[in-house]
Amino acid sequence: MLTTGLALAQTYQVIGVVTDADNTPLPGVNVSLKGTTTGTVTDIDGRFSLSVSGQTPVIVVSFMGYKAQEIPHYG
């Protein structure tokens, strides 16, 4: 599960938490913007923050042992 929030501006921050099916935060998950080199890794509490520009970026979430997910972010 991916939960996100944002601060409005031309370039904005997507802030979120990556959790598993039991709602347990997942540390060390790769979170990136599709088609770019922009990315980060979740912290010990599963939290991340990405700088985003554009109307509908696609966030790619990948972690060893899990299927990668592509999630459009409608800011």
**What pLDDT is attached to residue 68?**
94
Instruction: Convert the pLDDT of each residue in 13-57 to its tens digit.
Output: 899 999 999 999 999 999 999 999 999 999 999 999 999 887 778
Read off the pTM.
0.81
**What pLDDT is attached to residue 11?**
84
Q: What's the per-residue H, E or C state across the chain? A: CEEEEECCCCEEEEEEEEECCCCCECCCCEEEECCCCCEEECCCCCEEEEEEECCCCEEEEECCCCCCEEEECCC
Q: Where in the chain are the domains?
A: 2-72
User: Which CATH code of 3.30.1370, 2.60.40, 3.40.50, 1.10.10 fits the domain covering 2-72?
Assistant: 2.60.40
